[in-house]
Each structure stands twice: as C-alpha cells, then as structure tokens.
Structure 1
Amino acid sequence: MAVRHVLILGGTTEARQLAADLAGDPALRVTSSLAGRVAEPRLPAGPVRIGGFGGAPGLAGWLREHRADVLVDATHPYADTISRHAARAAADTAVPLLVLRRPGWTAVPGDRWVPADSPEQAAALLPGLGRRVFLTTGRQELTAFADPAGPADLFFLLRSVDAPEPPLPRHTEVLLARGPFTLEGERALLREHRIEVLVTKDSGGAATAAKLTAARELGLPVVMVRRPPTPTDVPVAPTVPDALAWIRAACGDG
C-alpha cells in the first residue's frame, strides 16, 4: 500500500485538529509546518517543521524533495502571503491544494460593527469612535496604530500571545494571554479597563468570539478588519471533517 504524504501549513486550531485526526491513518504520512512567529507554539501531532520555505519557489522545492501528495493551507485567515505562495507552489508542482478556512463571524442584532479594509483604515476610524481601545489584531499590525502623528490621547489595551516589539502606540498597556477566552472574563476586562471601542480581525471561530458578545452587551462599537481574499480556483473546506473527506478522496481513499 502506497503511503501518501500530506503537508499541512498550520498554526491554527483547525490545523492541529486535522493533524490529530490524520495521525492514526497508516495510509498517510503527515507533516505540519509552522511559521515560527510564536515563541512557544502549540505543536500538532506528528512531525513538525518550523520556519519559512523561501517563498513559493522554496515551498515548491520542498514539495518535490519530500514527495508531497497533498498540500493543505490551514493557516490563519489573515496569513495571505503564505496562502498566495501555497497556491503558486501547488500550481507549479501539480500537487493538489486545499484551503481549510473557518468561516468568519456574522453580526447579530445589537452589534455595532464598523468595517475596515486594513489596519491603517481601522486606526483612522478610532478618533471618532472612542479613546480607550481594546486592540486584538495581533503583533503584526501594530505599526498602523503607532503613527506618531496620530491622536495623542488614545489609550490602547493590547492583547497578544507574545510580547510585541516597537513601535507601539504611545499609551499602551500590554496583556499577554492566549485564548480561548470566556465571556465572563471578557466582560470583566472591558469594564476594568473602561474600554470604549474594540478593534479586531474577522478571525472566526469560538476561541476569541466572546469579546464580540461582551462588546455587544456593553453597546461598544467594534472595528472589524475584513479578511484578505482566498486565492481563486482553489477548493475551500470550512470545517475539519470537510477537509478530511477531501484529503481521503484526493489520496484515493474516497
């Protein structure tokens, strides 16, 4: 029986679940790849490689060298660079590619969402929405909120898994924490810090959704940074079971 090699570009809850579900299949060999941006990542089951590939050509080279049969892009919805590289590498090597992407959040009655196309646009909206900001966009987008020419009286409560590096907004308190977060905890956090506006990305999933409910209960506006588009002409699975079915079919076990 030929063993098929599956490369999972991971770092998400779904990627870890997928690796765990595939780990016991004797017909499959699974390798998970992490970008290495988190100091102590949660490791998935099975072999793991950490670090970049060197763009699309490097990823294509890895797929050829390690004889990968299937590529799964299960990265964060905002990791658009690696998603573009994966699409190009898959096309160059004729390796079947699946994007495993959890659905985004959906506004419900009572939500006060303000859409933004970028972190920069989100930062520009803040002076008209509130002065005390709960910023949960992650470390990669902080530069947009650290403009020295911006409003001097904005306060930012920044939540991140790892400590952020400068530049930071002038008035910043850093909270190091990793989800999932409870609704009770999010309510208390917003009240304790007298938050007036929440800034987040449409990451989707349950692990960090409680902040949206807490903001809705308190009547706070939420600046929601839209997702980058998923590469075109690539199949997308919204759940891990959908991804499992696609992988088994692609590997001839459907």
Structure 2
Amino acid sequence: MPLRVLILGGTTEASLLCRALAGDGRFAPTLSLAGRTNVPALPPIDCRIGGYGGARGLAAYLRERGVHALIDAVHPYAARMSHNAVAAAASAGVPLLALRRPAWTPVEGDKWTIVADLAAASRALGALPRRVFLTVGRQELGPFRDAPWHRYVVRSVDLPASTDLPPDSVAIAARGPFDVAAEGALLAAHAIDVIVTKNAGGEAVRAKLDAARALGIAVIMTERPVKPPAETVATADAARRWLIARHCALRGA
C-alpha cells in the first residue's frame, strides 16, 4: 500500500520533496497550495489549490482522504497554517513533520537592521527619501504606502495591483532563484540605498543579501513569526527519509 502523503507547500523545499516522491510507488503524494500565486510552478504529482477552512477543515480532509502523513512545508511566514497543521494532525491522529529551512543570519560585512514586522520596517526607513528594494510579497505593501516619500522597486512573483503599490514605485515580476551578479546589477541600476525583506531563509533568493554585502547596501530584515513545536527537519532529503520510515512502518503494520 502506498503511503498517502499531504504536503502543505509553497516553498522550494516542498517542490524538491514533491519531485523526489514523484514516480516512487511507495508514495501517493498530494501537494496543497494556498493559491496566493497566480501561476504556481507545479510538480508532477497531484495538486490541490485552496484553503481548508481552518484546522477543523484540514483535519476533516485528512480523515476523509485517509492521509497517512502530513508534511508542513509552508513559507516561514505562514504561521497560521503551521498552527492549523499541528492542530489538525493531532485531531486526525496523523503523523506530522515540519520541513522548515533555517533562517538567514548576518555575517561580517552585513549592514542589517532587524525589526519585528513590516510596519516597523517602514518606520525604520526614516524621514529622509531613500531608494528602496522591496521584496516582501505583493500582498503586504500597505505599510510602505504610508511612507510615500521613498522611491521603491517592488519585486514579487506576480505583479501587484497598481492600487496596492506605494506612489513612487517600479514593479518587477520575477521568480527565483537569482544569482549574485544579476542581483548586484539590479541594485546598481536602480541606485538602491536599502533592501527591505523578510527572513525567508534558503538559497533561492539569498543572492540579494550577498550582493548587498558586496555593495555596502543596508538591509532591513523582519523577524520570523513563531511557529508551533513539531518534529522538524531542514531539507527535502531528510523529509523523504522520514517518509520512507513511515512507509516501512505502514507496510509492517
């Protein structure tokens, strides 16, 4: 019997895990996406797009589909979904593994200011006009509309609605991974003074931080929200090994 796996995704690690499981007869994986991206990059497995109606709805889905294992591989800032996953897995009696990539940490040469949230990031830009590279997602630009004296270059996977953008801004639609040379060229072309970003971690979009260090550009970094306690691994390969152990346990049951 294949192990029925639900992967709550939206990260590079989730995609890597899905590709690792695709075609492996030991597993019947389904990738679940929230639907925040207009054209998501879908791996070659079954996919489900949309919410569940909270922890109770997710628990009902786990029971109805006979899911054997739940993988929480959502974005580091999707704290509510992670809390729902823990509650739903406990309610449905389904083993849960959190796939959480480590946060970025500053190294010598970095000029970081760490703040609690995006409202604090907007305030940290200060009263004098600055040229800001903003990579916080297209749905969380509100705090920066309250600081219209800055000039913004806004990058996200999908273009924001024009009404969501700060008044003086340029929008760029792009999907990582990015390389350091291209990021440095982008920062230089727009004469960026400061980067505002979330501490997403991982390798796909960290090149902007390496480029900022090389160019002496400041970074305003928001702290991660607190995630609930759970058995945790940092890589897709470690998650795959955990699932193999679950499959062996199921086969021996």
Output the TM-score relative to the length of structure 1: 0.93
Aligned to 1:252: 248
**1:185-200 matches, cutoff 5 A:** 185-200=182-197
Question: AA paired with 1:145?
Answer: F
Question: AA paired with 1:229?
Answer: V
The count of residues paired between Structure 1 and Structure 2 equals: 249
Distance 2:120 2:6 in 1: 35
Distance 2:218 2:180 in 1: 17
2:234 to 228, 234, 238: 238
Query: Percent identity between the aligned chains?
Result: 49
Aligned-residue offset at 1:140: 2.3
Checking the alignment, whether the CA contact within 8 Å between 1:114 and 1:222 is kept in structure 2 is yes
Aligned-residue offset at 1:59: 0.7
Aligned-residue offset at 1:155: 0.6
Distance 1:195 1:23 in 2: 42
Change (3 A) 1:129 1:138: farther
Distance 1:188 1:105 in 2: 22
CA RMSD of aligned residues (A): 1.5
Checking the alignment, whether the CA contact within 8 Å between 1:7 and 1:70 is kept in structure 2 is yes
* 1:33 partner SS: strand
Checking the alignment, whether the CA contact within 8 Å between 1:110 and 1:216 is kept in structure 2 is yes
Checking the alignment, whether the CA contact within 8 Å between 1:100 and 1:239 is kept in structure 2 is yes
Checking the alignment, whether the CA contact within 8 Å between 2:134 and 2:195 is kept in structure 1 is yes
Aligned to 1:36: 35
Aligned to 2:224: 227
2:171 to 159, 171, 174: 174
Unaligned runs of 5+ in 1: none
Question: AA paired with 1:38?
Answer: T
Deviations 1:49-70 (A, max 9, x none): 1111111111111101100010
Aligned to 1:157: 153
Q: Does 1:77 align with 2:76?
A: yes
Output the TM-score relative to the length of structure 2: 0.94
Aligned-residue offset at 1:81: 1.6
Checking the alignment, whether the CA contact within 8 Å between 1:34 and 1:50 is kept in structure 2 is yes
Checking the alignment, whether the CA contact within 8 Å between 1:10 and 1:73 is kept in structure 2 is yes
Distance 2:129 2:241 in 1: 46
Distance 1:19 1:160 in 2: 23
Distance 2:231 2:168 in 1: 43
Q: Does 1:56 align with 2:55?
A: yes
Aligned-residue offset at 1:217: 1.2
* 1:156 partner SS: strand
Aligned-residue offset at 1:130: 6.2
Aligned to 1:110: 109
Question: AA paired with 2:67?
Answer: A
Question: AA paired with 1:208?
Answer: V
Unaligned runs of 5+ in 2: none
Aligned-residue offset at 1:35: 1.0
* 1:241 partner SS: helix
1:218 to 208, 215, 218: 215
Higher deviation after alignment, 18-27 or 53-62: 18-27
Higher deviation after alignment, 169-178 or 18-27: 18-27
Checking the alignment, whether the CA contact within 8 Å between 1:119 and 1:144 is kept in structure 2 is yes
Checking the alignment, whether the CA contact within 8 Å between 1:180 and 1:207 is kept in structure 2 is yes
Deviations 1:166-214 (A, max 9, x none): 3321211101111111111111111111100000111111111111011
Deviations 1:198-253 (A, max 9, x none): 00111111111111011111111100111112212x11110111111212223335
Checking the alignment, whether the CA contact within 8 Å between 1:130 and 1:197 is kept in structure 2 is no
